[in-house]
Each structure stands twice: as C-alpha cells, then as structure tokens.
Structure 1
Amino acid sequence: MTLANRLTLTRIVLIPLFVVVFFLPFWWAHFVSAIIFSVAAITDWADGYVARKYNQSTPFGAFLDPVADKLMVVIALLLLVSIHHHLVWFVVASAVIVGREIVISALREWMAAVGQRASVAVSHIGKLKTTLQMTALIVLLTDIKLLYPVGFIALGGAAVLTLWSMVLYLRAAWPHLLSEENQ
C-alpha cells in the first residue's frame, strides 16, 4: 500500500465523519465539517503529488482516486442542497455538477475500453472548474452567511465550467462514439 493510496483512502474514511459532524446540533458543526472537507481536498492534491513525484501510481490508485473525489464532492453538494433547497438555481447547479461527473466518468470508462483514454484527459478548464468547485464547497460548508456571495459565485462559475468542459470532452470523444468499429 503506497503513501498515495493511503492518502486517497484517508479521504474516503473522512466521509462519514464529515457527514456526522455536519449534522451535529452545535453552532460550530458546519465550520468543522468545512475543515474536514478541506483536509480531504488537501489529500486529493497530496496523493496526486506523491504518486507523481515518487512514482507511486498504481492501478488501484487510478481507480480509487476519482471515486474518492466524486464521493466527497457529491456528498458535500447533497449536504449543501439540504440547506439551500429553496434556491432553485443552487439545486440546478448542483445537479449539473453531479450529472456531469456521471457522464464524464462513464465516457472515460468507455473511451478506455476502446483504447482512447487519452482523448478525454483532464484539461485546464477541468482544473479551474475543480478549483472553483472546491472553493465554493469549502466556503458554503462553513455556513457563514457573510461568505455566501463568494461561495454562490464560485459555485455558479463551477457549474458553467462544468457544462463547458463536458461539451469539450464530448466533442473530443464524438468521433470515437460514432465510429463503426465501436458500434
């Protein structure tokens, strides 16, 4: 078990703690859940850094890392929708982000199966989307109303970039999706 894989597993282990703390009936619960989410986000960066720097990339890590990322983001969005369900745009933005993750995960899996994984590699737009998304989630998880505008703007930006990056991924994959040998 490599250090990179241990960091990824740590992120998954933090999920139940993150959810339980979020729902604790204390004034500090949301702020602490934001800290737990932040630690998980740091492990996401750290496991990738460690895997590249120390040549610790493994098939298990390649599978588990995106699963851990998506679990954290989807669960954070679900928790936030429980607070902001009255904001239709917030629910739609959250659904767009979750829906895109499902579509792109399936697309990457299919592209890998047909030997075209590199066609749907992570782009700079995806990295910017992730940065905005993580910023929005951390800020909104604190549940500090003064910071809501920052979180809402970041989440809206992340949702727009989510759609844009999905279009770019689908456009890159489209010739492979339509090729006769893959039908």
Structure 2
Amino acid sequence: MLTLPNILTLSRIFAVPILVFLLWGTPRWYDYALAFGLYVLMGVTDYFDGYVARARGTVSKLGVFLDPIADKIMVAAVVMMLVFTRDISGFAVVAALVILLREIAVSGLREFLADLRVSVPVSKLAKWKTTFQLISLGGLILAGAVPQWPLVHSAALFCLWAAAALTLITGWDYLRVGLKHMD
C-alpha cells in the first residue's frame, strides 16, 4: 500500500490544504510564488507516480483509485481559490465552472460505467484538455506572483478557455458512451 507511487499521490492530496492556505485571504506576490512552486511540484509528482508505478510494475488498485481523485481535488481547490481571489473573474468564471462541472460529471459517469464493467479509455483530446487546464491554472497562480507581466494572466485565461472548450468536447464524448449503457 505504501509504495513510492502511492506516497507521491498521497503527497498531492496532503499538499492541497497548503496550496489553499497560500492563496487564502489576500495573497501577496510571494504567497503566489510559493503556491506556484507547490503547484509545479504537485504536477511533477502526478507525472512520476504513474511513471514509477508502470516502470516498477507496482501499479496498485489504491493508486488507480487515488490518482484521479488527487487530480480532481487539486483542480477543484485551485479553481475555487482563483475565483475567490478574483484571479478568475467576470465571464471567465463560466470557463472555470464548465471545467468543475465536467470533472464531477465524468467522475460520476466513470463510476456508473465501472459498475457495468465498461471501461472508457482516456482520449488524446482529453489529455490535451488536461494539459491546457493545468497550464492555465498554473499560469493564473504565476500571474499573481508577477503582476508586472499582465501577458502571463492573459495567456493563462486563453488556456483556461481552451481547456473549457476541450472540456465540453471530451465531456460530450464520455456522455455519448455512457448514454449507450443507460436504459
């Protein structure tokens, strides 16, 4: 149970409250800088937990269960905090909401399909969605650390909208598969 990949996954879950704390209230530039560093570290551990598990042949049921949960907790917490700090504001909140709602809906759909023993593999487009999502959220945190570079914030918002668009497309793909199995 306490293999290196599982410890890396658990470390991401335990890092979320620290990330939230750093962005709570009125964060200063150095709070954002620390949050960005932690966010990057969480992203690196996300990559390595799966890589190490596959390389060592230690893929576990616990890891398969916890990894997507850790990802969704991190994304949800960051989105909520960035809306709270108004780094995501105005109409961009719609993009953030689309991302959150899709994460919840797809999790429920995957659970429903798992009960039916139906596997839905992650598509290339879904991987691109995740990439844009992670870059956008990291960019929005980084923008708080470097407010003198407004282009960082603009680029991150562009990536957020790209992630939201891909979220709708991939969410529809998952829903289509799910609807085939609903009576």
Please say whether Structure 1 and Structure 2 have the same fold, judged by a TM-score greater than 0.5: yes
Match of residue 52 from structure 2? 50
CA distance in 2, matches of 1:127, 1:149: 22
CA distance in 2, matches of 1:85, 1:20: 16
Instruction: Within 5 Å, give how 1:1-183 maps onto structure 2.
Output: 1-23=2-24, 25-84=27-86, 87-116=89-118, 118=119, 120-142=120-142, 143=144, 144-145=146-147, 146=150, 147-178=152-183
Change (3 A) 1:26 1:126: same
Instruction: Provide Cα deviations, 1:87-117, integer angstroms capped at 9, x if missing partner.
Output: 332211111111001110011011010111x
Which sections of structure 1, spanning at least 5 residues, go unmatched?
179-183
Instruction: Provide Cα deviations, 1:119-150, integer angstroms capped at 9, x if missing partner.
Output: x2211111001110110011101213421111
Instruction: Provide Cα deviations, 1:59-100, integer angstroms capped at 9, x if missing partner.
Output: 111111111100000000011101237833221111111100
Structure with the bigger RCO (C-alpha within 8 Å, sep 6+) is 2
SS in 2 for 1:176: coil
Matched positions, count? 176
CA distance in 1, matches of 2:105, 2:11: 26
Change (3 A) 1:86 1:150: closer
Instruction: Provide Cα deviations, 1:124-183, integer angstroms capped at 9, x if missing partner.
Output: 1110011101100111012134211110000000000001000011112221123xxxxx
Superposed CA RMSD: 1.5
Contact 2:23 2:85 in 1 (8 A): no
Contact 1:81 1:90 in 2 (8 A): no
Change (3 A) 1:154 1:21: same
Contact 1:85 1:91 in 2 (8 A): no
